[in-house]
Amino acid sequence: MTLVRFYKADGTLDKEVEAKPGRRLLDVAWAAKQPLEGACEGVMACSTCHVIVDKADFEKLPAASDEEEDMLDFAAHATRTSRLACQIFLTAEMESLTVRIPPSARNWLRG
């Protein structure tokens, strides 16, 4: 299991959840009621699932594809450690993953 920590845009911890390997970060975020729209549901046609990954965790993730990099160019408040949550899959080796929801995330809760 991976301990996933979601921080708010203001830097305060919002929620910690445990998730199984193989799960997509976007689905974990939705289940944890995080304000990530994920409008295209993971086909890289939007950037509304943009998250800012903790620097140490970012370095452990597989590199983003060119398509993901292109979509991140459209994301507001993108940083060097920005990723699309629909493109991150948890692995058994990941003990924890810490991400921050960017300030421009819509306050839209799924489910």
Burial call 62-89: b when 16+ CB within 10 Å, e when fewer: eebeeebeebbeebeebeebbbbbbbbe
Shortest distance in whole angstroms from residue 49 CB to ligand FES? 3
Residues 13-32 that bind ligand FES (CB under 6 A): 26
Cβ-closest position to ligand FES: 86
Nearer to ligand FES, 16 or 67 (CB): 67
Residues 65, 102: Cα–Cα separation, whole Å: 21
Number of residues lying near ligand FES (CB under 6 A): 15
Instruction: Choose which of 16, 18, 21, 39 interacts with ligand FES (CB under 6 A).
Output: 39
Nearer to ligand FES, 13 or 106 (CB): 106
Applying CB under 6 A, which residues contact ligand FES?
Answer: 26, 38-42, 44-49, 71, 84, 86
